[in-house]
Amino acid sequence: MQPITWNDFEKVELRAGTILEVLDFPEARKPAYKLKVDFGPFGVKWSSAQITRHYMKEELVGRQILGIINFPEKQIGKFMSQFLVTGLADENGDIVLTAVERVVPNGSKLI
């Protein structure tokens, strides 16, 4: 593990956002959804997430997640991912979303 400085950590825009819409992403190489997320003052952004093993589309709408919003956009097939959804791999390598324990304003920064 390589240590980072506090200044390095402060550069990461790890923000809370609320999922507004979830779409299937059949063109993805691995099963994934397209997520539309409201980051408050940072706007509404889209990303893909390989979270189909643990989550149904219907249960994700309205849920707050954490995303890194200052990575460069990434082209995934015909889809442009605008932020990185954060999560942790379970014992099988399937992704469990990083959760917000209580509702916070969209755009709140992890500190």
110 occurs within a structural domain: no
Which residues touch 69 (CB under 8 Å, ≥6 apart)? Answer: 13, 15, 39, 42, 45, 82, 83
Any bridge partners for residue 79, and if so which? 76
Q: What is the number of structural domains in the chain?
A: 1
Residue 107 domain-assigned? no
Q: For residue 82, tell me if it sits in a domain.
A: yes
Residue-wise pLDDT for 7-27, tens only, equals 999 999 999 999 999 999 999
**CATH number, domain with residue 25:** 2.40.50.140
8 in any annotated domain: no
pLDDT digits (tens, 9 = 90+) for 55-109: 999 999 999 999 999 999 999 888 999 999 999 999 999 999 998 999 999 999 9
Residue ranges making up the domain that contains 63: 13-97
Q: Is residue 58 part of a domain?
A: yes
The answer to pTM > 0.85 is yes
CB 23 within 8 A of CB 81: no
